[in-house]
Every structure is written in C-alpha cells, then in structure tokens.
Chains A and B, each alone.
Chain A
Amino acid sequence: EVQLVESGGGLVQPGGSLRLSCAASGFTFSSYWMHWVRQAPGKGLVWVSRINNDGSRTSYADSVKGRFTISRDNAKNTLYLEMNSLRAEDTAVYYCARDHSGNDEEFDYWGQGTLVIVSS
C-alpha cells in the first residue's frame, strides 16, 4: 500500500526556519519525482516545489524561491522541505505528492499534510 506521511510542522516565528519530512512507503521511491503542495487555511491548492527522482533537478514556485530547499534521501525513502525566512503568508498545510507521469501516476497519491503556522 502506498503511503506518504508528512511530519515536522508546527508554530514558528516570522523569520524562523522549519524542516518538513515526508516518509514514503509501498512503492519504489527512487523512481518517482516528488512534489510539495500547500494550502493556506480556507484557500486552494498551490504547488510549492518539485524534485526529480535522483535529486539532481529541482523547481520552486516564485513565492518560495531562495527561501525553501527541497531534497530527498532515497536510501531513507524520505523527502524534505527546508523552509527558511518564514513569513506569515507561508502558513498552510503542506502536502507531499508523488509523480511518475510515464506511468500515469502524476499526483496520484498525497500525504495527510502537516500544518505550518508562522506567527509571533
């Protein structure tokens, strides 16, 4: 069974840092691109970042570029999102999702999300 389990969310002050994790199981993690998508309270889904299967290529939304870093450890089947210089507008539930468009598995599984609150 495919599972994605996010962790690491919490309350952080503006300007602070946080590291999110997404533990994957039930599939060959190293074969998939992975994404982070966020959802501010009461708002819609917004794509944040993506990493290719071996970690050599990354992409970011303009709103987080230079502040967030996506990475992965294929030996540990884990995806990360390092978030620095956090702002109030980064408050959201952060989801990880897998992607293998060649297998028609683009965003077909999502984690349960982890809540990040940026507030003083």
Chain B
Amino acid sequence: DIVMTQSPLSLPVTLGQPASISCRSSQSLVYSDGNTYLNWFHQRPGQSPRRLIYKVSNRDSGVPDRFSGSGSGTDFTLKISRVEAEDVGVYYCMQGTHWPPWTFGQGTKLEIK
C-alpha cells in the first residue's frame, strides 16, 4: 500500500501570512497514462471533506486562487498565499494512482495564531 506522509501535522498561521503543507508518497504517483493522481482536500470542523486540488495542481471550481498545488513524483506541496479565517480546518492529501487502496495522508490541522 502507498503511504502518504504529511508535514507538519499542526500549522499555526497568522492571518494574511502564507502557509505550506508537504505530502510525500512512498512510491511515485505517476500513473501509466502519464497523469499523477494526487488530490488535496479541506475539511472544516463538523463538515465533509471538500476537494481543493486534483492531479497535483488543478484547482477545483470555486477554490480561491490563493490555493496552489505543486510537485511531482513523490513530493507534493499545497500552498496558501495569504491565510484567511475560513481556511482553518484539516487538510489531507490523497493518492489515486496505486489502488486499491486509495490512501490519505494523516491530515494537517491549520489554525489561526
């Protein structure tokens, strides 16, 4: 099974400051079709997860452009250029290349300082 490792697990950030979350996979996530199936999700307290980014760097509709995804192979990053209050919650990376199982990172809890 592919292990997804996120860091940090806790991320206190001042409003308006940038934030960055790392996600590493135990194997390359490049699929045979050339795509890399690495997604990022955001889960606010008491809510369902919401997909933010698919295939490493593609923002979902309605996701603010302060969110960006990057990376390749086994190393991926989610960046928030300027954190806003609504960004609090837990962020998860997930791989959909080597399945089953689909696997998630442990989650990174973003809070406002």
Instruction: Give me the interface of A with B, judged by CB distance under 8 Å.
Output: 35, 44-47, 50, 59-62, 95, 99, 101, 104, 106-108, 110-113
Contacts and interface: CB of A to CB of B under 8 A. Distances in A.
A62 B60 CA distance: 31
Contacts, number: 58
A40 to B, nearest CB: 12
B92 A44 contact: yes
B104 A44 contact: yes
B94 A107 contact: yes
A95 B92 CA distance: 15
Which range contains the number of B residues in contact with the other chain? 20 to 34
Contacts of B102: 35, 47, 50, 107
A60 B39 CA distance: 20
A50 B96 CA distance: 12
B48 A112 contact: yes
14 contacts: A44-B90, A44-B107, A45-B92, A47-B101, A47-B104, A59-B99, A61-B100, A99-B96, A101-B96, A106-B37, A106-B39, A107-B51, A108-B54, A111-B48
3 closest residue pairs by CB, A with B? A59-B100, A47-B102, A110-B48
Given A45-B104, A47-B104, A107 B99 contact: no
